Amino acid sequence: MTAGIQPVSENPGGEVATPRHVAIIMDGNGRWASQRGLPRSAGHKRGAEAVREAITGAVKAGVGYLTLYAFSSENWNRPADEVMDLMGLLKLYLSREIRSLDKQGIRLRVIGRRSRLSRDINEMIDKAEEMTRDNRRMTLVIALSYGSRDEIIDAARAIATAVVEGRESIEAIDEARFESALSTHGLPDPDLIIRTSGEQRLSNFLLWQAAYSEFLFLDTLWPDFTEETFAAAIEEFQGRDRRFGARP
């Protein structure tokens, strides 16, 4: 087993294990809105409310890490007004929800290419990460301007630079070293990756980290995702048989 692959919670009493880390590709905001004759922005707004549901569901289930794919590196290619809407929602979220996250004992961490985000969003993220850094009940990871290939390239560059500068040897590059250079360093790999809206692909999300993840594709559109949807997903995960490549 490598550094990032850790078994889900210990299971001495034979109870079914809870996933330590759940990651979600929140998809279907646009379709939810168009089904109602509403603008896409209305779907994103309801999507931000569903984020609260997912967090409550994760806390209730006892999940240690919840990662949400809020904005991908490819999302920058959407029309400017939609990008602005999404950034506005994120700012609103960061300004309104941080206190509540803190009170619930939730630590916030943001992964992704921060350099592409505006200065005010970066400042809000720094403040929120700092304010919640000692919280231990759950870590909420928001993937923002995130693309897994970018992340892997950045890691390769950092390690190559260290080798070229003579600070590290090629022989010392192993899975643990590579993981330490990823933006998810220190997080366990996701046990379960959920994607809503019926689409069945990873879309450049946690490609390295998903090596042994279970996948759950739900038809539910993201704005309709509730605490109960989360609980049902955990139950489905608990029925899966995970072997990490080993024989039963």
Q: Which residues bind ligand FPP (CB under 6 A)?
A: 26-31, 44, 47-48, 51, 68, 70, 75, 86, 89-90, 93, 142, 197, 222
Cα(218)–Cα(129) distance, integer angstroms: 31
Nearer to ligand FPP, 4 or 147 (CB): 147
- Which of these, 154, 143, 158, lies nearest to 206 by C-alpha position? 143
Count of H-run helices and E-run strands, the chain: 7, 6
* Active-site annotation holder among 11, 27, 85, 189: 27
Nearer to ligand FPP, 7 or 198 (CB): 198
For residue 57, the minimal CB distance to ligand FPP (Å) is 15
- Which of these, 98, 146, 104, 147, lies nearest to 125 by C-alpha position? 98
For residue 66, the minimal CB distance to ligand FPP (Å) is 11
Nearer to ligand FPP, 4 or 190 (CB): 190
User: Is-catalytic flag, 102?
Assistant: no
For residue 8, the 8-state DSSP code is S
* Active-site annotation holder among 11, 29, 75, 189: 75
Nearer to ligand FPP, 18 or 220 (CB): 220
User: Is-catalytic flag, 75?
Assistant: yes
For residue 167, the minimal CB distance to ligand FPP (Å) is 37
Cα(102)–Cα(56) distance, integer angstroms: 13
Cα(105)–Cα(185) distance, integer angstroms: 21
For residue 6, the minimal CB distance to ligand FPP (Å) is 26
Secondary structure E strands in 13-165 = 21-25, 65-72, 106-111, 138-146
Contacts of 5 (CB under 8 A, 6+ apart): 189, 211, 212, 244
Active-site amino acid positions: 27, 75
